[in-house]
Amino acid sequence: MTNSTAHDGQAGHLARRLGLPAAVAISVGTTIGSGIFSSLGAVAGAAGTATFVILAFVIGGIMQIPANLCYAELATAYPEDGGQYVYFREAGSRPLAFLTGWISFWATDPPSISIMALAIVNYIGYFVGMTPFVNNCVATAFVLVFMALHLRSVEGGGQFQTIITAFKIIPFVLLIGVGVFFMKGDYLFATAATGVPVGIMALLAGVSATTWSYDGMASVCYMTGEIKDPQRTMPRALIISVFTVMGLYVLLSTVAGGLLPIDVLSSSAAPVADAAAKIPFIGSTAGAVTAVMAIIVIIGSLSSCIMFQPRLEYAMAKDGLFFKSFAKVHPRWQTPHFSIIMQCAIAIVLIFASDLTALLGYFTLVALVKNFLTFGTIFVLRRKVPGYQPSWRMPMGYLMAAVAMFMTGTLIVSTFFWAPVASLVAAVIAIATGLPAYYYWSRRGSGTPQMPTATNVGAGV
């Protein structure tokens, strides 16, 4: 059933051209995005003290390790493009595998590209004022530039991703390295303000608030089929990524907690900028410094998403469960060119739409459920699938999978209570549209319909 044999660029397949640095860059580059610029304040508000803020990022990172270990094992068992889609398929649930890709294509992946492109423009607006229409046009230009980059070469795209990920980490490292000399111990060890929750519940709330800051590390699994020596590279990349991100977040939260009183940190809409402003020679330029940092950081995330996300539809199309054109591989560039173009085209249309953030929020619960079920495939595959032979098995496998499911399950519950109507609506829409589409394609088999092209539209097809 699987297509896990190595392939190196033969017709119709994607070549293995990305090494460990690129794999780490995709994982880290996707994870460290614009969220960290605001999540520090949210974590501080939940945790109540600077000490708990730091502990929250430590514990949040540690609890991300089981999730990364699960993905590392699954990636070595099925070293092909597609990520979650492949794991559900191999666990024996093709309908669930299809729903994973269906939801991603129509509801989460293109909107995420749109939101990041618009976020870059918003930070550019700190320096240059633009009308809303010009903003949209500039955001579109960013999408087109990175679409062209990742169309032409997976190697070139991987090299750029490695470079931009290094550049996006360097400003944080400099801020940490300089800020540590201006920290105040009184801020770090101050007690919580009156009326602020304290104790274990406050710490747990802080840990929960860090979760989205760690989300995205499994993105490299979408491209396992293009990673050199995936049996060794994927576990190393995922483990390196989690410790890299955790180290950066813990150090950043420590410096921020030492530069700002907890009440200021917890109420700040721009905690990184406010913390940077406390460094004497940055001072009033903190806003500009933070805007530049944000632009670099989000460019890295945008590039990463345009690079890895289209691989899911490519994998589905190869199995005859999506439009056949999405399985096309460019004969010279060796990239899934049609899949990349279509996802970016939808993203550009959405750039000119409104309230994308609200649209994306409707599918938060569905995305969490996908992660929860992915970790559950470990139990199914290890016990019921004779051909399950990962080259790397995580230690204490069932326990690690259970911990990953527990962490994701707590988020599912909190998300449902936070937005029950939106969550139910999203689930109903996903099932009501996805299952009929799945049964249509599964019956068509190899006769999967193609997306309309200029030729067949003109012919009246």
C-alpha span between 213 and 33 (Å, rounded): 8
Residue 181 pLDDT class (50, 70, 90 cuts) = very high
Which band of pLDDT confidence, cut at 50, 70 and 90, is reported for residue 281? confident
pLDDT at 158 over 50: yes
Q: Which helix (H) or strand (E) holds 23?
A: helix 20-31
Least confident of 24-38, 188-202, 352-366: 352-366
Residue pLDDT, tens place only, 76-94: 999 999 999 999 999 988 9
Yes or no: say if 72 and 394 are a contact pair by the CB < 8 Å rule: yes
pTM of the model: 0.87
| CATH number of 20-449, picked from 1.10.260.40, 1.20.1740.10, 1.10.630.10, 3.30.420.10 | 1.20.1740.10
DSSP state of 193: P
Q: Please, are residues 237 and 326 in contact by the beta-carbon 8 Å criterion?
A: no
Q: How confident is the model at residue 12 (pLDDT cuts 50, 70, 90)?
A: low
Residue-wise pLDDT for 297-330, tens only, equals: 999 999 999 999 999 999 999 999 999 999 999 9
pLDDT score for 448: 41
- The string over 65-104, giving b where at least 16 C-beta atoms fall within 10 Å of a residue's C-beta and e elsewhere, is bbbbbbbbbbbbbbbbbbbbbbbbbbbebbbbbbbbbbbb
Weakest-pLDDT range from 10-14, 24-28, 429-433, 436-440: 10-14
Using CA atoms, how far apart are residues 269 and 250, in angstroms rounded to an integer? 19
pLDDT of residue 459: 32
Q: What pLDDT band is residue 361 in, cutting at 50, 70 and 90? A: low
Task: Report in angstroms the alpha-carbon separations of 384 from 90, 92, 175.
Answer: 11, 10, 50
Among 10-14, 172-176, 200-204, 394-398, which is the least confidently predicted range? 10-14
| Domain extent listing, the chain | 20-449
Is residue 458 predicted with pLDDT exceeding 70? Answer: no
pLDDT at 36 over 60: yes
Q: Give the 3-state secondary structure percentages of the chain, helix then strand then coil, rounded to 5.
A: 75, 0, 25
What is the rounded CA–CA span in Å between residue 27 and residue 160?
14
With CA atoms as reference, report the closest residue to 196 among 49, 320, 297.
49
Six-digit token pair at 31? 């994870």
